[in-house]
Amino acid sequence: MLLGLCAFGVLVVFFDAADIYGFGGRPWRGFWDATVVTTNQPYVTIAAQPRPDGASAAAGIRNGDVIDLREQTMRARYEWIYELLATQPTSLIVHRGSQRSIADVTGSTVFEGPWAFKLTGLLASQIAVLFFLGCAALIALRQAGSYEARVVALVLILQMGSLLGPSVAVPNAIVSFAFRLIDAGCTLASSWLLVRLASHFGARNARRRAIEWCAYALSAVAFVRSVASIIGIGTLWFDPLPYLLPEVISSSWYPVLWSVEPVVALVAVAAAAAAAVGSTTGSERVRAAWLLLPLPIAFALGSIVSLSTLLNPSWFLFSGAIVGRGFVSLLGALTVTYALLKRRVLDFEFILGRTLVVATVSLMVVVAFVLLEWLLGTVLSNASHATGVVANAALALTLGLSLRYIHRRVDTFVDAVLFRKRHDDERALIDFSKEAAYVTDFNALLDATLGKVRRHTDARGAALLVEGNGSYTAVRSFGDGVVPAVSENDEAVLSLKTWHKAIDPHHYVTALHGALALPMLSRGRLTAILLLGERAGGEAYAPDEIEAMSQFAHGVGSALDALREKRGDESSDVRGLIAELAAEVRALPGQLFEEIARRLPTSSL
């Protein structure tokens, strides 16, 4: 179900992009290039500060023109308050003093006028949605068995409606109202799910319950407010202006209060999450903080940024607030992505390194191609078409053959700059895997092995479990959560015996508690297990780190087995000597009697 919703979300993002950018034609999504200000009169609004080169000004609308919602069609009312179409004109009845006129406004597209203001916020929201969907897909693939992970995935998917819903523009007003209702429903559902998730963490008390119920109630009020604004605009049964979005401004205090209420609701959700984190103890607190806090804080900050439009009806301030909200949402998406990467889904440093390598190589190839193309164009400006084709083909071939060399050099440089310590630690572990064969004392090898793990990894704990008497027993360890012994029939142990590969114990029903279990093999037999705990930073162990530690475990395992056999041979020798000595002691009385008899004179006998 989660993967299906993620796939559906990708389609929604694609169609939203087509709505905004107009793939193959003019986009539907248009801009008024002006803002709306309410008055103390019901249903009456004012056009504020239309841009001189914008769509409203081109249709004859001027600053201070009055638009009464009761005189407009349902489609015109919706588009005046929310989104305008760029493909067909919208007729508005406009009052300027005693004059009454009709203005046919066709919205400007995202690429017309100050496109940077328009494009940046919309693009940031779309990128944030893609990040959210990517995180949800990772959860579906790797952690769908966890209730907490499923709730987070659903919240991330629901944010698609909250982030993209306000930007949708379609010719049918009924469909537009339906999108607004979906937007409000997604916001309510995600808020309630976050509060519900927070209730599963930490100790319960009356103060936490009160905060949670306040968050539930305020989120419900925000939903009712959104629904009331939609119904009011569509039917005019009542004045919808007090229930509208934060960008609608009034000199009266209660519309402003209604505008602030959604922000208060999101702050209440963040407070419920913070209370859950505060009541959680131990190492679970860090996990709870990463899981619960980023999303509600990002949503609340985005709404607070939107409130800046209450200060001034300027179109540029309004557009800047949209840009700010988009970037705050993107920041929340990046934070959630990082939090999930820290929870053993992927390794953040590894992904960062690969991304930098690919980006740098791509940039170098593009720059080199552009420069060489310019150079060839300058040198061969008077050459024939065939010569130019041959020169460009030679250029492409040269860059293609050089790509592998460039990639290797860039990869080496990025590793040397960003991950030098990690590679030094890996080399130290691999070196010791060879040195371990020359250690002559079993206990000294155990001590040295744990010392290397402590110095050259950032594991919070580690244990060496050695085979014996039908189980694997911890003979050396540091940190917390070490299991004294585990049966040789344990599920994770059987996997290590069968496949001879490092495993994540979280994927097994096992007594091994840690982030990584490494087999220590000798002649194909599992002689010991090296168990590593969570990393200090919470990230996953990277593939190159696992490979280095696997080589380390294999070398130490062979040395441990050899020393144990040597110790067993020495013990056998000692047992033989003791047996011989015992036999000689038992024979002493008879030998003594014979010696006495031999030395005594015959007559005395």
Instruction: Identify the pLDDT of residue 552.
Output: 92
Cα separation values, 344 from 32, 180, 460, Å: 47, 37, 15
Q: 229 and 240 in contact (C-beta within 8 Å)? A: yes
Q: List b or e across 7-22, with b for residues whose CB sees 16 or more CB atoms inside 10 angstroms.
A: eebeebbeebbebbbb
Give the largest CA-CA distance in the chain.
Answer: 162
Cα–Cα distance between 464 and 472 in angstroms, integer?
Answer: 9
Among 307-321, 462-476, 572-586, 588-602, top mean pLDDT goes to 462-476
Of all residues in the chain, the percent with pLDDT exceeding 90 is 5
Instruction: Identify the pLDDT of residue 529.
Output: 92
pLDDT at 89 over 80: yes
- What does pLDDT average to over the chain? 76
| Cβ-based neighbour number of residue 253 at 10 Å | 8
- Alpha-carbon 154 to chain mean position: 14
What number is the average pLDDT over the span 317-327?
Answer: 66
What number is the average pLDDT over the span 539-553?
Answer: 82
Instruction: Identify the pLDDT of residue 301.
Output: 76
Instruction: Identify the pLDDT of residue 581.
Output: 65
Q: Is 575 exposed, middle or buried (0-12, 13-18, 19+ CB in 10 A)?
A: exposed
Cα–Cα distance between 515 and 460 in angstroms, integer?
Answer: 10
Could you report the per-residue pLDDT of 189-204, keeping only the tens digit for each?
A: 888 888 888 888 877 7
Instruction: Identify the pLDDT of residue 316.
Output: 61
Could you report the per-residue pLDDT of 381-424, keeping only the tens digit for each?
A: 666 666 766 776 776 677 667 767 776 777 777 666 666 777 78
Instruction: Identify the pLDDT of residue 579.
Output: 60
**156 phi-psi bin (left φ>0, alpha ψ -120 to 50, beta other):** alpha
What number is the average pLDDT over the span 154-171?
Answer: 73
> Which range (66-70, 345-349, 440-444) has the least confidence?
345-349
Cα–Cα distance between 377 and 396 in angstroms, integer?
Answer: 14
| Cβ-based neighbour number of residue 319 at 10 Å | 22
Instruction: Identify the pLDDT of residue 257.
Output: 57
pLDDT at 605 over 50: no
- The secondary element (H helix, E strand) that includes residue 576 is helix 543-599
Among 66-70, 481-485, 537-541, top mean pLDDT goes to 66-70
Rounded to 10 deg, the angle between the 173-198 and 147-164 helix axes is 150
pLDDT at 558 over 80: yes
Instruction: Identify the pLDDT of residue 322.
Output: 66
Among 46-55, 188-197, 283-292, 299-308, top mean pLDDT goes to 188-197
> Which range (91-95, 153-157, 388-392, 577-581) has the least confidence?
577-581
> Which range (25-34, 285-294, 316-325) has the least confidence?
316-325
Cα separation values, 66 from 80, 108, 136, 230, Å: 12, 21, 46, 21
Helix (H, G, I), strand (E, B) or coil at 88: coil
| Cβ-based neighbour number of residue 294 at 10 Å | 20
Please name every residue paired with 468 in a beta bridge, in sequence order, or none if there are none.
Answer: 471
Confidence band of 36 (pLDDT split at 50, 70, 90): confident
> Which range (96-110, 121-135, 183-197, 393-407) has the least confidence?
393-407
Instruction: Identify the pLDDT of residue 530.
Output: 92
pLDDT at 573 over 60: no
pLDDT at 483 over 90: no
Q: Which of 260, 243, 269, 375 is nearest to 309 (CA)?
A: 260
* C-alpha angle 64-65-69 in degrees, rounded to nearest 5: 125
Instruction: Identify the pLDDT of residue 248.
Output: 43
Instruction: Identify the pLDDT of residue 197.
Output: 86
Instruction: Identify the pLDDT of residue 246.
Output: 39
What number is the average pLDDT over the span 521-540?
Answer: 81
Cα–Cα distance between 317 and 553 in angstroms, integer?
Answer: 60
* Better-scored residue on pLDDT, 295 or 586: 295
